[in-house]
Amino acid sequence: MKTVLRSHLQEGDYRRAAVYSALLHVAILLFFTVGVSLLPSPAPIELGLGAGGGQGEVVSVGLAADTGGGAGMYKPPVTNRAESAPPPPPKKAERAVDESKVPPNVFTQEKPKPKPKEPEPPHRSRPKKETPPKQRAGLIPRESDPGKGTPGGAAGSGGGFGTGRGVQIGSGSGEGGQIDSWYIRQVEQRVGKNWLQTSLGSLQKVQAVATFLVLPSGQITDIQLEQRSGVSSVDLAVIRAIQASNPLPPLPYELRSRSVRFKAVFEYPTTAR
Amino acid sequence: MKKGLAPSMRKQVWLVPLCILLSAAAAAAQKTDATIFPTPTATRLAVADFTPRTSASAETQTALSVFNRVLLDDLKFSEFFVIPSKSFYPLKPLRAPQDVDFSNWQVSTLDVDFLAFGNLQVDATATVVEAYLYDVKTHNQVLGKRFTISDPTLIRRVAHEFADQIVYELSAGASLGVARSQIAYVSQKGDAKEIWIMDYDGANAHQLSFNGGLNKFPEWSFDDKRLAYVTKLPTENRWQLRIQDVDGPVRDISIDASYVSSPAFSPDGRLAFSAHTPNSRGADIFVAGPNGRGLRNITNAAGIDTSPTWSPTSAQIAFISDRSGSPQVWIMDSDGSNVRRLILEGGHCDSPDWSPDGRYILYSWQAPEQWKHDIYLVEIATGRINQLTRGSGSYESPHWSPDGRHVTFQSTRSGSKQIFIMSVDGKNLKQVSAYGINESPSWAPYPPATPEQ
């Protein structure tokens, strides 16, 4: 074997190749961890083959510039996709995550007691927080999350290639696209079922965003309120909706190799997706 | 190759840990894998029968049956919750939190979000109710209350109180509940029409006026302590504007008027009413201070202006005027300026009532060529009109509940004029008066004081 190698590779050539290879790897890594954030987020190109709500053979192909894609069991979108993907969410919103962490046991804290009745002004308007209009792509948004990546994510550099039922090929440090599957829709329904209409009180409009992590066992952890609604009772109800959904069913096979971080956009009245 | 890595290669070895480090850092950074857009759903509430705490004495059983029925009726009428039938409930009685097996309440036939339960005991000295509300999904206690009353006949009040607390808690404070609220109305028994007050569900009806004459148009003050109405005593031939405290004392507001009707308190304590005085051209709307002082004619127009109702900010008044021909709903500022017609349909409008949130006005309307009234709702900003009642009988004198989710009115749908309540979406219609002729209901603006706890 060594003889064979020697016969094909001169020592000098090998060294050079190794150095180039390492430098190239670093360059690619830097490109995906830093460089991507500088680029405008392009419209993803997805090819969904096969029919049947993610049951069939599905291949999604991401181009090099497409930092998403590559997930198994991709469900074809039902609604029209926007012509171009929206710009990445403002950085400010991300920073708000840390500032507005809510402990998972928020419900065990003392709830604000009902205030003694006072002759309320008949306009029981609550302070409403003006939230910027949400930017969202078509169905399951491939919202880019620039500057962040994950190994073993759904995307490979230069085009992650997922074939078939969730078998994911492609490692690398792409930031990963958003996954979609029957399981995700189930989680959406479950959390929605625990988000109670009555908790909205008399508010005409509500928006809050929370994130949580689902372990392979289905256990929900790390609930964080990313964007507050501006009304504490609504925030509590949003956290409760996630807590009350715990535990979720175990992650499906194709997602079980890791935990899944969900972003839940609590929006009322619901706008078209 | 046996020499090991070449020197130039060795120099690059540091790149390996760097790569690993960068990869790990990238992994640590949070990212979202999936975004979901949950849609809110109705709150499902189970109301388990309360049980005797120690012994099931006859008094305790009687109190329990009243309590359980009233609590369930209140919560159903609140229209906030989906309440699954009790026939699906687990059979195990729940006395205290430790008796609850939450998984039993999450089976598909129930699948409730919250569970109300508790216990009750009537003793020689006191009646004690321990009431709980638990979040079935998170197992958190939402309410834990202990009510002590000296008189077991007050048990309805305790049920109302607990129902309102559940509504307040689960509606995020949007409603104080209406279970403790009261309705004033006119009841005719024999020739006299007297003012009566009852609980919102028709219980505890008691008479307020005892003058044997005709008493009409009761209207609550916004502190719930007084009622304004008009009286024609049997010995007199003129109508008198009168204010009576709920606990008895009566005060007359002297006005030089041949006719006075439909008083209405403003949230800031002023009093508007319709009167025909020697100086007015027909009946006009007058506004006076809390004691009847500072009387001022604010319409002063030809024709009949009547039935004033205040906006919740006390800045505007809606009223009925026939200045355009037939009686219609008009709006003006409380000083009489900016008069405009709100309802542009023909027919006859009557008894407008401004919603607690200021957005709507309830009124009754008799369509042209029709013999009966029905209740309608107009959205002030858009002028959009909704019909709330249909079917046989006439529906008149609508009045909002304090939480703006319900309506009371009089109707002949069951024969004679009686008082009804229903949700503003037309559901949950209930007749709450029965004997004699009952009309002109006025729902008290806020629930009265809570029973001792």
CA B101 to chain centre: 34
pLDDT of residue A224: 93
Which of A55-69, A235-249, B37-51, B101-115 shows the lowest mean pLDDT across its residues?
A55-69
Q: How many residues does the structure list for chain A?
A: 273
Q: Does B103 reach chain A within 8 Å, measured CB to CB?
A: no
Q: Who among A197, A202, A266 is closest to B41 (CB)? A: A197
Q: In what order do the strands lie in the sheet with B284-288?
A: B259-265, B271-276, B284-288, B296-297
> Could you give the maximum distance between any two Cα atoms of chain A, in Å?
94
Query: Does B180 have pLDDT greater than 60?
Result: yes
Which residues between 302 and 331 in chain B have a beta carbon less than 8 angstroms from any beta carbon of chain A? 312-313
Query: Which band of pLDDT confidence, cut at 50, 70 and 90, is reported for residue B435?
Result: confident
Structure tokens at A7: 């016969």
User: Which chain A residues are within 8 Å of B26, Cβ to Cβ?
Assistant: 33, 148-151, 173
User: Which chain A residues are within 8 Å of B35, Cβ to Cβ?
Assistant: 140-141, 143, 178, 262-265
pLDDT of residue A95: 35
Q: Does A108 reach chain B within 8 Å, measured CB to CB?
A: yes
Which of A134-143, A214-223, B226-235, B435-444 shows the lowest mean pLDDT across its residues?
A134-143
Q: Strand, helix or coil at B363?
A: strand
Q: What are phi and psi of B377, to 5 degrees?
A: -130, 130
Buried-exposed string B189-211: b where 16+ CB fall within 10 A, e elsewhere: eeeebbbbbbbbbbeebeebbeb
Residue in the structure block whose two tokens are 């009754």: B364
Mean pLDDT of the region B226-236: 93
User: Which chain A residues are within 8 Å of B29, Cβ to Cβ?
Assistant: 147-150
Structure tokens at B55: 């012994």
pLDDT of residue B84: 96
pLDDT of residue A139: 34
Query: Does A97 have pLDDT greater than 80?
Result: no
Q: Which residue has the higher pLDDT, A164 or B167?
A: B167
Q: Answer yes or no: do A179 and B15 touch at CB < 8 A.
A: no
pLDDT of residue B293: 83
Q: Does A227 reach chain B within 8 Å, measured CB to CB?
A: no
Q: What would the pLDDT profile of B321-354 be if each residue is shown by its tens digit?
A: 999 889 999 999 999 999 999 988 889 999 999 9
C-alpha–C-alpha distance, residues A210 and A216, integer Å: 20
The continuous run of DSSP H or E covering A185 comes out as helix A182-194
Buried-exposed string A194-232: b where 16+ CB fall within 10 A, e elsewhere: bbbbbbbbbbeebbbbbbbbbbeeeebeebbbbbbbbbe
C-alpha–C-alpha distance, residues A161 and B157, integer Å: 67
Is residue B320 exposed (0-12), middle (13-18) or buried (19+ Cβ within 10 Å)?
buried
Angular region, B327: left φ>0, alpha ψ -120 to 50, beta rest? beta
The upper half-sphere exposure of residue B240, i.e. CA atoms within 13 Å in the direction of its Cβ, equals 19
Q: Chain B closest CA to A110's CA: distance in Å?
A: 10
pLDDT of residue B224: 87
Q: Does A199 reach chain B within 8 Å, measured CB to CB?
A: yes
DSSP 8-state class, residue B263: E
Q: Does B30 reach chain A within 8 Å, measured CB to CB?
A: yes
Mean pLDDT of the region A76-97: 38
Q: Answer yes or no: do A244 and B1 touch at CB < 8 A.
A: no
Residue by residue, DSSP assigns B382-446 as T--EEE---SSS-EEEEEE-TTSSEEEEEE-TTSS-EEEEEETTS-S-EE---SSEEEEEEE-SS
Mean pLDDT of the region B342-369: 93
Mean pLDDT of the region A71-79: 38
Residue in the structure block whose two tokens are 């021909």: B325
pLDDT of residue B8: 54
C-alpha–C-alpha distance, residues A208 and A267, integer Å: 7
C-alpha–C-alpha distance, residues A88 and B452, integer Å: 57
Query: Which band of pLDDT confidence, cut at 50, 70 and 90, is reported for residue B404?
Result: very high
Mean pLDDT of the region B239-265: 91
Query: Does A70 have pLDDT greater than 70?
Result: no
pLDDT of residue A123: 43
pLDDT of residue B370: 86
User: Which chain B residues are within 8 Å of A74, Cβ to Cβ?
Assistant: none
pLDDT, mean over chain A: 59
Q: Does B381 reach chain A within 8 Å, measured CB to CB?
A: no
Query: Which band of pLDDT confidence, cut at 50, 70 and 90, is reported for residue A156?
Result: very low
Residue of B nearest to A239 (CA): B138
- Structure ipTM: 0.76
Residue type, A197: Q
User: Which chain A residues are within 8 Å of B42, Cβ to Cβ?
Assistant: 196-198
User: Which chain B residues are within 8 Å of A108, Cβ to Cβ?
Assistant: 140
Q: Who among B35, B39, B80 is closest to A198 (CB)? A: B80
User: Which chain A residues are within 8 Å of B356, Cβ to Cβ?
Assistant: 122
Q: Does A143 reach chain B within 8 Å, measured CB to CB?
A: yes
pLDDT of residue A20: 85
Q: What would the pLDDT profile of B16-75 be if each residue is shown by its tens digit?
A: 666 565 555 554 445 778 899 999 999 999 999 999 999 889 999 999 999 999 999 999
Query: Which band of pLDDT confidence, cut at 50, 70 and 90, is reported for residue B391?
Result: confident
pLDDT, mean over chain B: 90
Query: Does A157 have pLDDT greater than 50?
Result: no
Q: Strand, helix or coil at A64?
A: coil
Q: What would the pLDDT profile of B269-320 be if each residue is shown by its tens digit?
A: 899 999 998 888 889 999 998 777 888 999 988 889 999 999 999 999 999 9
Which of A117-131, B14-28, B367-381 shows the lowest mean pLDDT across its residues?
A117-131
pLDDT of residue A17: 83
Residue B287 and residue B275 in contact, taking contact as beta carbons nearer than 8 Å: no
Q: Who among A122, A175, A200 is closest to B312 (CB)? A: A122
Query: Which band of pLDDT confidence, cut at 50, 70 and 90, is reported for residue A174?
Result: very low
User: Which chain A residues are within 8 Å of B33, Cβ to Cβ?
Assistant: 154, 176, 178-179, 260-262
Q: Answer yes or no: do B173 and A114 touch at CB < 8 A.
A: yes
Q: Answer yes or no: do B223 and A140 touch at CB < 8 A.
A: no
Probe site for chain A from B37, B82, B102, B103 (most A CB atoms < 10 A): B37
Residue type, B191: D
pLDDT of residue B294: 86
